[in-house]
Amino acid sequence: MRIVLLGAPGSGKGTQSKLLIEKYNIPQISTGDLLRAAVAAGSDLGRKAKAAMDAGQLVSDDVVLGMIQERLSKPDARAGFILDGFPRNIPQAQALDAMLARLSQPLQLALLVDVDTEVLMKRLTGRRTCSNASCGAIYNIYFSAPKAPGKCDKCGSILAHRSDDNENTVRSRLQVYEQQTAPLVSYYKAQGKLRTVRGTGSVNEIFKNVTDIIEVQMRPLAAAMSAAQAAAAKSAPPKPAKPAKAPAKAAAKPAAKPAAKKPAAKKPAAKKPAPKKKPAPKPKKKAVKKAAPKKAKKAAPKKKSAPKAKKKK
């Protein structure tokens, strides 16, 4: 699957990304790593990037996209990838979409790991690290405080507070993130690709929600494809000439319902007191094999997903 990960500093998206890499066996593509590797390798793009960085300039989107494209051509990215840290703005998102379209590998999902700003503040400003380098234990004064304030539980050394973890610095970092990400969230929402997972709770709980989202996002495609294949495999019986479309639509709704136990026939029967005419379209419904099963299968997973997705928002 091809995913863009969105999430604030402190959202835990890095942890989720690692778990995704393991579960789905796809690489995470980080532009920072790509730049370092390209510069070290001295490739064409690497030399361009180095020239820009040496001149104190930002590496252009073209160069970064070129590196991403090169990376995508490697065999381990065949099954998909996780993009983290790119795109950061709409022009980059558009250029990425254009590039992926040329490769016939469009993004399937933009996953936002959402955490309230005040929780992020506590996660980031509350961090304390054991100053004993050989220990390196990490605490959070709000969520996992040491037993004695300022002292490491394990080795008794003083706990250090990084200067860039102070409240003002963190708040402005989060504001920058908000300003960058809000337009991207809208962009992917408009494409119908945005899904949001709450980034609070245990790592495993969050990951369960992440994988649920991914499965739902991927399966409708698989379901639609297998339905199409099944329909193609069956020799299609002669279709009824005109009324084909109307019964097909009618059939789609009841077909999705059996789980809800409601006998599909009841409603129409009650509304229209024409019992003689009803039986006629029924056999036609069965004849219209292509349309009916497709809609039914598509509808099923969507229904399941809808309430879940809402809960997390």
Minimum CB separation of residue 27 from Zn ion in Å reads 34
How near is the Cβ of 153 to Zn ion at its closest, in Å? 7
Give the interface size with Zn ion as a residue count (CB under 5 A).
8
The owner of tokens 């054991």 is 130
Count the alpha carbons within 13 Å of 110 in the hemisphere toward its beta carbon.
Answer: 24
Q: Is residue 197 close enough to count as binding Zn ion by CB under 5 A?
A: no
Residue 127 annotated in active site: yes
152 touching Zn ion, by CB under 5 A? yes
Residues in 6-45 that interact with Zn ion by CB under 5 A: none
The only residue of 119, 137, 287, 300 in contact with Zn ion, by rule CB under 5 A? 137
Is there binding between residue 157 and Zn ion (CB under 5 A)? yes
Residue among 159 and 288 whose Cβ is closer to Zn ion: 159
Q: Could you say whether residue 160 binds Zn ion (CB under 5 A)? A: no
Q: What phi and psi, each to the nearest 5 degrees, are found at residue 65?
A: -65, -40
- From candidates 41, 103, 138, 155, binder to Zn ion by CB under 5 A: 155
Q: Which one of 50, 122, 171, 173 is the catalytic residue?
A: 173
Q: What is the closest distance, in whole angstroms, from the C-beta atom of residue 159 to Zn ion in the complex? A: 8
Shortest Cβ 147–Zn ion spacing (Å): 12
Active-site hit among 127, 195, 295, 298: 127
Does the annotation count 162 as an active-site position? yes
Q: Using CB under 5 A, which of the segments 147-155, 184-192, 251-259, 305-313 binds Zn ion?
A: 147-155
Q: What is the 3-state secondary structure (H, E, C) of the chain?
A: CEEEEEECCCCCHHHHHHHHHHHHCCCEEEHHHHHHHHHHHCCHHHHHHHHHHHCCCCCCHHHHHHHHHHHHCCHHHCCCEEEECCCCCHHHHHHHHHHHHHCCCCCCEEEEEECCHHHHHHHHHCEEEECCCCCCCEEECCCECCCCCCECCCCCCEEECCHHHCHHHHHHHHHHHHHHHHHHHHHHHHCCCEEEEECCCCHHHHHHHHHHHHHHHHHHHHHHHHHHHHHHHCCCCCCCCCCCHHHHHHHHHHHHCHHHCCCCCHHHHHHCCCCCCCCCHHHHHHHCCCHHHHHHHHHHHHHHHHHHHHHHC
Q: How far apart are alpha carbons 213 and 114 in whole angstroms?
A: 14
Per CB under 5 A, the list member of 37, 135, 141, 264 interacting with Zn ion is 135
Residue with tokens 């020799």: 235
Annotated catalytic residue within 36, 78, 162, 267: 162
Nearer to Zn ion, 155 or 222 (CB): 155
- Quick check: bond before 87 cis, omega within 30? yes
Annotated catalytic residue within 18, 47, 50, 88: 88
Q: Which residues, numbered 111-130, are part of the site for Zn ion (CB under 5 A)?
A: 130
154 binds Zn ion (CB under 5 A): yes
Residue placing its CB nearer to Zn ion in the complex, 140 or 180: 140
| 189 a catalytic residue | no
Instruction: Name the residue nearer to Zn ion (CB basis): 7 or 126.
Output: 126
Q: Shortest Cβ distance from residue 157 to Zn ion (Å)?
A: 5
The bridge status of strand 127-130 relative to strand 138-140 is antiparallel
- Contact present, 121 and 173 (Cβ < 8 Å): no
Q: With binding defined as CB under 5 A, does residue 228 bind Zn ion?
A: no
Going by their DSSP bridges, the two strands 159-160 and 127-130 should be labelled as antiparallel
Residue 250 interacts with Zn ion (CB under 5 A): yes or no: no
Asked whether position 159 contacts Zn ion by CB under 5 A, the answer is: no
Q: Which residues are catalytic?
A: 13, 88, 127, 162, 173
Interface contacts to Zn ion, rule CB under 5 A? 130, 132, 135, 137, 152, 154-155, 157
